[in-house]
Amino acid sequence: MDGVSFLMLVYVFVLAIFVGFELITKVPPTLHTPLMSGSNAISGITIVGAILSAGLEEFTISTILGMVAVIFAMINVVGGFLVTDRMLKMFKKR
Amino acid sequence: MKTIIEITYLVSSVFFIFGIKKLSSPKTARQGNMFAAIGMALAIIVTLIDQDVLTYEWILIGAIIGSTIGVIMAVKIPMTGMPQMVGLLNGFGGGASLLVALSEFYKIMNFPAWNHDVKTDISIIISILIGAVTFTGSMIAFGKLQGLVTGRVVKYPGQHPLNAILLLFVIVGGAYSVIYPGNELLILVIAAVSLLLGVLLVLPIGGADMPVAISLLNSYSGLAASATGFVLENNELIIAGALVGASGIILTLIMCRGMNRSLLNVLVGGWASAGSGGPAPEGSTPKGDVKSVDAEELAMIFDSVSTVVIIPGYGMAVAQAQHAVRDLVNILEKKGIKVRFAIHPVAGRMPGHMNVLLAEANVSYDKLFAMEDINDDFSNTDIAFIVGANDVVNPAARHDQSSPIFGMPILNADYAKTVVINKRSLNVGYAGIENELFYYPNTLMYFGDAKDAISKLTNELKNL
């Protein structure tokens, strides 16, 4: 990773934080719990790293750690999106 | 191939952004969640065709186990258990970041040809720290919400210096391991200390401060994902993590503002008196007579009014009284009474807790009002009906400078013509202080467990 590409990552990070602030300040308080569980599921994006670790050609300790990471991230992703959907289904106007 | 993967990651990030954008209205929120899930599916599928991924059996095993557990948890958890669920899921996200960082460390150690440099090594340390703190911190938060760990404020001598020393150790040890890489033992010790730090940071936080803790851990889980993104030089992880990190921080600030406390004040362990748990010290609070009513009398009072505002609090969640409250609302509305809900930002154990419970009980979300939207309306309200809330309606926050909750924004329940408070006893709330509202001339206490008491009231109203 050279200096320029690292700086690009920092750029992306900072700009994404600003996008996040803009988006989330518009979420009404009534949806704060689904926002939390939904964004929680998004943080399961670590699954990408977990897959890369678990899928190495040679079997090493990295593979085992990767597999456990896949389990954790998958719980986070699947559980998070499903439970958020379950909650949002209930938010109705009558 | 590399280009296709990168573009897909970009598309996936856009799905995440649109997904969160659609969460800004209950009408589109479900679709938004779906968008985010599609984004996630895209990211997973495209990662599987990455040239570095050569064996699939371990991924498959992990994915099957993880998905099964995830589905079971999501289906089984009752709505009242949602704060615990969110805490637990946070923890798994953080744990995954920790494991990926460790895995990367071993990859570098076992395959010296693997491309890495100082920035990767630094990112690994940061990822281990944040991931580990998120993991154990969330588990403690889960334990507190589930009642497995004490919900009290935990204080012991030297706790803050100890935390500072542990953090310093991680920083110094981390710096050392970056300068002299490949020290396996040191990395493991850093991970262990970080795990311990997570426990010690969340343990002191009191039960009612959990909305802050959960929001903050939510933010950490995002930052952990971002840190992993820096390790892997993956923009999508950085973007998705940053979105979640920002979300958690905003919620944290909203919660802190709702209590008029600084984040630091919450983190170091609660209101000055909160730890005592005993009866409040006798202060300047004017003690007077408490007027209590029974169901029959109260039903007649409700029958004669035209506007009611219900103020739910954690007590409603504990008693699981949301369905009983909905039944009450239905009968009141049948009698032509206008019913609304006033929801304090820190009511319950996580942001939006009351809203979810009431949604579960089929209360239409357009009847739920945030504090700032309804507070001016209390003076035109006949009855403010408080169900299991206490500190958030204590008028002392407005005028009593000696009160620990002075300055906290409260719901103006006392401005209503009549205040009815459903509570099991006259006990103090979380802040450990007397509530002078109980003794106001326009206040009626309606004692009893929320669920039973409200069902009784509803029955009496039916019989009128």
> Would A18 be classed as within a structural domain?
no
Q: What is the mean pLDDT of residues A33-59?
A: 93
Query: Structure tokens of B193?
Result: 């200390």
Q: Which domain holds residue A63?
A: 29-90
B388-431: per-residue pLDDT in tens?
998 899 999 999 888 888 889 999 999 999 999 999 888 877 77
Question: Is position A63 within any domain?
Answer: yes
Contact B355, B329 (CB under 8 A): no
Neighbouring residues of B342: CB distance < 8 A, sequence distance ≥ 6: B309, B310, B311, B369, B371, B374, B375, B378, B384, B411, B413
Question: At what angle are helices B118-146 and B210-232 packed, to 10 degrees?
Answer: 150
Closest chain A residue to B346, measured at CA: A29
Class for domain B295-463, per CATH?
alpha beta
User: Which residue intervals of B23-158 are DSSP H helices?
Assistant: 29-48, 57-76, 82-110, 118-146
* A86 has a chain B CB within 8 A of its CB: yes
Shortest Cα–Cα distance, A68 to chain B (Å): 7
Q: Do the Cβ atoms of A93 and B239 come within 8 Å? A: no
User: Per-residue pLDDT averaged across B157-178, rounded?
Assistant: 92
pLDDT of residue B288: 72
Of B34, B243, B352, the CB nearest to A32: B352
Phi first, then psi, for residue B214 (nearest 5°) are -65, -40
- At A3, is the pLDDT very low, low, confident or very high (cuts 50, 70, 90)? low
- Helix, strand and coil percent figures for chain A, each rounded to 5: 85, 0, 15
Which residues on chain A are in Cβ contact (under 8 Å) with B34? 85
Task: List the single best residue of A40, A57, A61, A65 to mutate versus B (max B Cβ within 10 A).
Answer: A40
- Digit-coded pLDDT (tens) for A13-37: 999 999 999 999 999 999 999 999 9
- Is there a domain that residue A21 lies in? no
In this predicted model, what pLDDT tens digit does every residue of B36-80 receive, in sequence order? 999 999 999 999 998 888 889 999 999 999 999 999 999 999 988
For the beta carbon of residue B395, count every other beta carbon within 10 angstroms.
Answer: 17
User: How open is the CA angle B158-B161-B167, to the nearest 5 degrees?
Assistant: 135
Give the range among B23-37, B149-163, B235-249, B263-277 with minimum mean pLDDT. B263-277
The region, left, alpha or beta by phi > 0 then psi within -120 to 50, assigned to residue B347 is beta
Give the number of domains in chain A: 1
pLDDT digits (tens, 9 = 90+) for B79-112: 888 999 999 999 999 999 999 999 999 998 888 7
Chain A: nearest CA to B132, how far in angstroms?
13
- Mean pLDDT to the nearest integer, B214-243: 95
Interface of A with B in 20-49 (CB under 8 A): 20-21, 23-49
Residues found in chain A? 94
B271 — pLDDT class (breaks 50, 70, 90): low
d(CA B412, CA A70): 49
> Which residues from chain A sit within 8 angstroms of residue B19, using beta carbons?
38, 42
The band of B286, judged by pLDDT with boundaries at 50, 70 and 90, is low
Q: State which residue of chain A sits closest to B221, comparing Cα positions.
A: A43
CA distance B302 to B339: 11
Degrees, nearest 5: CA angle B162-B166-B171:
145
Q: What is the pTM of this model?
A: 0.90
Question: Is A60 at the interface with chain B, CB within 8 A?
Answer: yes
Residue A10 counted as domain residue: no
Please tell me the distance in Å from A4's CA to the nearest CA on chain B.
Answer: 12
**Chain A environment of B38 (Cβ under 8 Å):** none
Angstroms from B431 CA to nearest CA on chain A: 23
For B:315-334, CB contacts with A below 8 A are none
Q: Enumerate the active-site residues of B.
A: 391
For residue B234, list chain A residues with Cβ-Cβ distance below 8 A.
48-49
Q: How many CB atoms lie within 10 A of CB B38?
A: 17
A7: contact with B, CB 8 A cutoff: no
